[in-house]
Structure 1
């Protein structure tokens, strides 16, 4: 029943209501040799593995025509993959696991892009939010309610014996503009990704930036179960293209200016015109991708997934039993064979 309800909810979504630029539809998304990738939130250097895979020609060299679309929330990326309106999307590990187990969502993780949480708590130096108890009674901003940011927050609170209801939430864009909400007294802090944290730090503002560590795979790439079964060769080409793009960025070290220029030629990436800050931003994201070693980029770490599932069950976020696979390394293995 819960799988049917999830599918009904996913089917109710239309790309028109999400405002996706290309008017994507099911037939379009499944066209042979053409793949649609959906980000969880607009265009950011956090998504460089895919954007550079496209702009740098890595996907084309693998015989794929990949189109990258900017999404409007991590929860919706899962629903659109379930509805087969997009081929591959990125979402938070905790958010995905809850949907897979509790709602029997017909989507499966084929890769882990951010091996640890990509989120930071950004708060004023005068009233920093660092320890779990600091969250109680505060009002926090986040890009998507019901998405990966909120799942990360709830998990962290429950692990520390705090009722998530004790923390108020407001939806805001994950951009440096969130600091203005703090200055106006509307927020006590907000969740930001590496890009937002890097830009605020570069401005020298009186803020505290605290990394979040929840023990869960940070961000994952998910596909529909049917896509995994029927389009394994194309997914292997997609994985190989993304992996090659990451390895190029690793081998370049600090020389990432050409990478940023390549992506800017095809994508409107906020803040990327400041090359020095953009390089620091990209390096911060790259660190998340290669936390388990550059050679393991995109690979799902079985021990990490087991630990993540155990933590979610201990926190009460996962209560149902399931026979569904939470992840597969079949595509990663095929892409890296030989």
Structure 2
């Protein structure tokens, strides 16, 4: 199992290909235009194997009306997903808000329209060590390897914030090594001591904890409390050409968020299982029974400015985004298309 060391952190988001997306989006996004009357009603998107995304749930519940989803494949990461949306290969994509900030700072004309995942008491990622590990405090991580699913995204940001808030200097933080480890291999890598810390969430976390022999160093929920961490984005051109489609989509996703909160968990899981089975992609549904929450903090996924302000400041402090590129967090998102709670959407 290969373990990939982190690159220089000042360039980590550029490695995700976001700069290329920003340069290309002006030419490629013609494919997202709505045509006559701005009535594009079929939205291309990327999914996730063995999982049900909020737009897929919204469509199955009938919340998207005459708007249809067209699956074009599965995404490999959040940065790749929003890059596809920016370049017009898909009509929407979702990623960690730091990646959205980086993409926008490179000039890509995209807007975040609704939050779709986050951390709460049920949905969180933990940084785990072996039960007998000498790692007990942030400073103990100096010289250690931390395995996570991808670099330049949620987990690396949580690690940096954790270390910074506990007083480690930039030089000391640079001595903590994030490594890319496939999520399905993280527990094994931790137990075999190939890494000293592993980031685990969802079913993989629950299975590892049930096996025993590991303990949490910290979780993102403990670090920041309940917060929305990622948003779906659409291009500004798409929103201008297809406002009603955008409103139907965003409001439908908002209603699906609230349906998942208020419906008994066993019924939600049963719905997920039926959705996966109906699409006939030979996917394993076993992981669905471990679902607990999407983790979205705000009602209906409405975007709170603080969901972006934290990452703008973090990226600017690191030099990854020039402060002059993002004049206000308000330019990064819009709640204009989310009608949930405004009458027709509730």
TM value normalised by structure 2: 0.74
- Checking the alignment, whether the CA contact within 8 Å between 2:18 and 2:79 is kept in structure 1 is no
Aligned to 2:285: 272
Aligned to 1:169: 178
Aligned alpha-carbon RMSD (Å): 3.4
- Checking the alignment, whether the CA contact within 8 Å between 2:300 and 2:340 is kept in structure 1 is no
CA distance in 1, matches of 2:339, 2:97: 20
Aligned 1:76-225 pairs, distance under 5 A: 76-101=80-105, 103-116=106-119, 118-127=124-133, 131-160=137-166, 161-163=168-170, 164-175=173-184, 177-201=185-209, 203-209=210-216, 210-213=218-221, 215=224, 217-225=228-236
C-alpha deviation, 1:329, in angstroms: 0.7
- Checking the alignment, whether the CA contact within 8 Å between 1:120 and 1:194 is kept in structure 2 is no
SS state of the match for residue 234, structure 1?
Answer: helix
SS state of the match for residue 270, structure 2?
Answer: helix
CA distance in 2, matches of 1:267, 1:207: 37
Report whether the alignment pairs 1:227 with 2:238.
yes
Report whether the alignment pairs 1:51 with 2:56.
yes
CA distance in 2, matches of 1:267, 1:300: 34
- Checking the alignment, whether the CA contact within 8 Å between 2:111 and 2:334 is kept in structure 1 is yes
- Checking the alignment, whether the CA contact within 8 Å between 2:22 and 2:103 is kept in structure 1 is no
CA distance in 1, matches of 2:219, 2:212: 17
Distance of aligned partners of 1:28 and 1:242 in 2 relative to their CA distance in 1, 3 Å threshold: same
CA distance in 2, matches of 1:62, 1:129: 54
Report whether the alignment pairs 1:71 with 2:70.
no
CA distance in 1, matches of 2:252, 2:30: 23
- Checking the alignment, whether the CA contact within 8 Å between 2:116 and 2:230 is kept in structure 1 is yes
- Checking the alignment, whether the CA contact within 8 Å between 1:91 and 1:148 is kept in structure 2 is no
For the pair shown, which has the larger CA radius of gyration, 1 or 2? 2
Distance of aligned partners of 1:326 and 1:29 in 2 relative to their CA distance in 1, 3 Å threshold: closer
- Checking the alignment, whether the CA contact within 8 Å between 2:127 and 2:199 is kept in structure 1 is yes
SS state of the match for residue 237, structure 2?
Answer: helix
- Checking the alignment, whether the CA contact within 8 Å between 1:73 and 1:147 is kept in structure 2 is no
Distance of aligned partners of 1:304 and 1:64 in 2 relative to their CA distance in 1, 3 Å threshold: same
Cα displacement string for residues 255-305 of structure 1 (whole angstroms, at most 9, x for unaligned residues): 33422322321276976326xxx34x321x33x12x33xxx1311013444
Aligned to 1:36: 44
C-alpha deviation, 1:218, in angstroms: 0.9
Aligned to 1:16: none
Structure 2 unaligned blocks of 5 or more = 1-13, 35-39
Aligned to 1:250: 261
Aligned to 1:22: none
Q: More displaced, 88-97 or 213-222?
A: 213-222
Distance of aligned partners of 1:198 and 1:49 in 2 relative to their CA distance in 1, 3 Å threshold: farther
CA distance in 2, matches of 1:260, 1:96: 28
- Checking the alignment, whether the CA contact within 8 Å between 1:100 and 1:326 is kept in structure 2 is yes
TM value normalised by structure 1: 0.76
